[in-house]
Structure 1
Amino acid sequence: MSKDIKIKKGLDIRLKGVAEKTLSNAPRSRTFAIRPSDFHLVKPKMVVKEGGKLKAGDTVFYSKEHEAIKFVSPVSGTLTKIERGAKRVILRIIIEADTQDEYTDFGTLDAGSADTEAIKNRLLEAGCWPFIQQRPYAVIADPETAPRDIFISAHATAPLAADYDFTLQGKEKELQAAITALSKLTEGKIHVGVGKNGQSPLEGLNGVELHKVSGPHPSGNVGTLIGKIAPVNRGETVWTITPQDLVIMGELFLTGKFNAERIIALAGSSVKAPKYYKTKIGSEVSTFIYDSGLNEENVRVISGNVLSGTEISPKGYLGYYDDVVTVIPEGDDYEFFGWNKPVFNKVSASRALTFSWMQPNKKYELDTNTNGEHRAFVVTGNYEEVFPLDIYPLQTLKACMVQDLDQMEALGMYEVAPEDFALTEFICVSKQPHQQIIRNGLDLMYKEIG
């Protein structure tokens, strides 16, 4: 029996260019890339040199801090280039793919009968551990720390997000295998959030505590799920995993292979035919962007959603954790006296000369223009209207900016991640980078408190 969670605070940003629920195979990418920057605070130690041959599932590098955490190749091929930046920091690892993938065989493992250590070792060995994130600090989970609970949100509410009910169709066996395995790694519960009116493949699984979630964005954020069920206190650790990563983990136990397959939503008003593509982690996004076509040339390509994704080149690579690629117009033009006239074509949480509140179901074609400049915080009270967690958002942001660790702890920083502040950043009249402020605060806590 499910438990209902109704979120009242938030804001739905309805954009044009929602991906149609049709699935195509993306053309085979010639090269694939792994970006160590996708794994926050991980310092990579290379295992394979340039020119080295790889199978899908072979270790490419491991974490210097936790050597057991390995990062593996999504395809078979040749490691052709290690791109480095300042101080020889690794920016990208480029793999030239073979025409057909050859997989490393880790062997099947019955999650129901296997013990905790066997499951943990298999996830670490096969490169699936990076899919497990922990809170506090929103980083890859520490293998030595058992979580109080595990949280999975299969209710996507971010603008143009991939529909999990569609992308997970037919994956019930893999999902169940992953859930069974994860249940051995915690003495607590596995909480799963699904849409109240959806048909999620996760609903019929054994071993989960099901919650039907409704309400505006960010009701689909896993942070909202944590905050409404069991917030994280000092000394506690919880894990979070995205549904498509569960499928990869489940397939590992069932087949013994690391299959980095990913169903992504190509969305956005600049895409001629937005729809779903089957590809692999780290593939070239141009393989499916140009297959669908673009409505204009001056666009911004985002690996992820428009609120918390990463800007990439149209010839860039899919992020390790992303299941949506968004393409919207570049906002490099400015409106004369745009601040001093009624606005009908933008979304706003305010009713001052804006009218989006009168048409809640209207879809908008927004660009990347910030519609204002960076300035000191203006206290408007708007953040609290769209922030559903039991936390004071403005005070938390200021505590992070002045690096007040005691205040950050008292305000509840242990349970948040940068994406929880993406919506407050969107409506911020001061144009402050909320997500980066929270990220810097979490990094400081990780360094000083651990």
Structure 2
Amino acid sequence: MGSYTFTKGKDIKLKGVAGDEVSDVLSPRIVAIQPSDFRGLKPRLAVAEGDAVKMGTPVITDKETDGLCLVSPVSGKIKAINRGQKRALLSVVIENDGKNTAERFPSHAPDKLTKLKKAETIQALLKAGLWPVLRQRPFSKIASPQDEPKSIFVHAINTEPLAADLAKILEGQDKNFQAGLDVLTGLTAGKVHVCAKSGARPEILTNAKGVECHTFSGPHPAGNVSTLIQSVDPINKGDIVWYVEAQEVARIGRFFLEGTYPQQVVVALTGEGCAKTGYVRTVQGAAIKELLPGTQFEGKRCITGSVLAGREIGADGFVGFYDTQISVVPEGGRRELLGWLMPGAKKYTLSHT
């Protein structure tokens, strides 16, 4: 187990940290799959408007990678297929029927997961639509099933502004998280590294079995994936490293244990623009308005992800595939008369000048 401390960097302090309450919004009326969330994906539609889908039914496939697909996180029907310029596929909107009718996949006992063959694991993740949770460095695109990763990193520390607390996201998920790690160990001849914050909770982040656990402390960007990789197992010419978010590891484990697509995710609602901050258990790709009832969006910027690395989506947007937080902040842009000339004692600065 390694311990790393960084002194350089900067934590940006913003108002609106998520509270301790975790509420349930398990059945949003509509959800969306957005190909723009997936770097390098060349989408091909597998459905048409009005088609009925189950939880785990393929909705979009990749033109370049055989078997790679994005699946519906709910059961219902295809409500809309939205296209942009040159007919680029922007999103597929699915109307949720609330029944959670699911495609069935093989389930496995916990003690059998480390014995799964690599090819069997890859095919299971591809068919279930869970392969996209694995991304590679360099380039941060979806990992290729044909590649041999030098190692796999579990990203369990986030130092971005208003970042979600993993203790809330992984609450009650110890069994699923360990199962997911057991699955990941079969995908690489190298090591699986779990990188967590010093003093992290839950304890499974620092005492997981069969993997290397590391702790990090310090200001942002101490929690960036690139920082973690460079500290623990640097990438050399020709190397490929895979990484996966901690919540996705628990979802992988749940899939292999239960045999159904793991639709549930926990998302942090943050920012001073939120009517109420906190955490919600919901479905991947849920509509923002359904997660933020009572929030007035006029004059505010709604972002899926953090204010540093997220994407502006507006009030009619949807939670990004890889995001664990929604940030609602004042739009800003207000002008100040002779602002360049006035004293700036109360203005934010990175330096002491």
Is the 1:300–1:330 Cα contact (8 Å) retained in structure 2? yes
Residue aligning to 1:407? none
Question: Against the structure 1 CA distance between its residues 256 and 331, is the aligned structure 2 distance closer, same or farther, given a 3 Å change threshold?
Answer: same
- Residues 26-54 of structure 1: CA distance to partner in whole angstroms, max 9, x if unpaired? 26321111110111121111111111110
Aligned runs of 1:123-142 on 2, under 5 Å? 123-142=125-144
Count of aligned residue pairs for this structure pair: 349
Unaligned runs of 5+ in 2: none
- Deviating above 3 A after TM superposition, structure 1's stretches of 4 or more consecutive aligned residues are 344-347
Report the Cα offset of residue 345 of structure 1.
Answer: 4.2
Residue aligning to 2:304? 303
- The residue type paired with residue 38 of structure 1 is D
Report the Cα offset of residue 86 of structure 1.
Answer: 1.2
Is 2:206 the partner of 1:207?
no
In structure 2, what is the Cα distance between the partners aligned to 1:214 and 1:340? 39
Is the 2:300–2:331 Cα contact (8 Å) retained in structure 1? yes
Residue aligning to 1:157? 159
Secondary structure, aligned partner of 1:147: coil
- The residue type paired with residue 133 of structure 2 is F
Is the 2:164–2:324 Cα contact (8 Å) retained in structure 1? yes
Q: Which residue, out of 245, 249, 253, partners 2:248? A: 245
In structure 2, what is the Cα distance between the partners aligned to 1:338 and 1:285? 35
Secondary structure, aligned partner of 1:181: helix
Is 2:261 the partner of 1:258?
yes
User: Percent identity among equivalent residues?
Assistant: 38
Secondary structure, aligned partner of 1:66: coil
Is the 2:26–2:283 Cα contact (8 Å) retained in structure 1? no
Secondary structure, aligned partner of 1:202: helix
Is the 1:111–1:119 Cα contact (8 Å) retained in structure 2? no
In structure 2, what is the Cα distance between the partners aligned to 1:328 and 1:68? 39
- Residues 99-143 of structure 1: CA distance to partner in whole angstroms, max 9, x if unpaired? 221111112033122111111110111011000000111100010
Secondary structure, aligned partner of 1:340: coil
Residue aligning to 1:51? 50
Mean Cα deviation higher: 192-201 or 41-50: 192-201
Residue aligning to 1:42? 41
Residue aligning to 1:120? 122
In structure 1, what is the Cα distance between the partners aligned to 2:236 and 2:338? 47
Is the 2:304–2:327 Cα contact (8 Å) retained in structure 1? yes
In structure 2, what is the Cα distance between the partners aligned to 1:86 and 1:32? 22
Is the 1:13–1:347 Cα contact (8 Å) retained in structure 2? no
In structure 1, what is the Cα distance between the partners aligned to 2:239 and 2:18? 38
In structure 2, what is the Cα distance between the partners aligned to 1:228 and 1:351? 29
Is the 2:105–2:260 Cα contact (8 Å) retained in structure 1? yes
Secondary structure, aligned partner of 1:213: strand
Aligned runs of 1:280-299 on 2, under 5 Å? 280-291=283-294, 293-294=295-296, 297-299=298-300
The structure richer in strand per residue is 2
- TM-score scaled by structure 1? 0.75
- Residues 60-117 of structure 1: CA distance to partner in whole angstroms, max 9, x if unpaired? 1111011221111111110121111111110110111112211111120331221111
Secondary structure, aligned partner of 1:225: helix
Residue aligning to 1:348? 349
Secondary structure, aligned partner of 2:349: coil
In structure 1, what is the Cα distance between the partners aligned to 2:83 and 2:264? 27
Is the 2:275–2:292 Cα contact (8 Å) retained in structure 1? no
- TM-score scaled by structure 2? 0.95
Q: Which residue, out of 264, 272, 275, partners 1:272? A: 275
Residue aligning to 1:393? none
Report the Cα offset of residue 339 of structure 1.
Answer: 2.8
Secondary structure, aligned partner of 2:340: helix
Residue aligning to 1:234? 237
Is the 1:265–1:275 Cα contact (8 Å) retained in structure 2? yes
The structure richer in helix per residue is 1
**Bigger radius of gyration:** 1
Aligned runs of 1:174-189 on 2, under 5 Å? 174-189=176-191
Residue aligning to 2:335? 334
Question: Against the structure 1 CA distance between its residues 345 and 104, is the aligned structure 2 distance closer, same or farther, given a 3 Å change threshold?
Answer: farther
Is 2:193 the partner of 1:191?
yes
Secondary structure, aligned partner of 2:205: coil
Is the 2:27–2:283 Cα contact (8 Å) retained in structure 1? no
Secondary structure, aligned partner of 2:214: strand
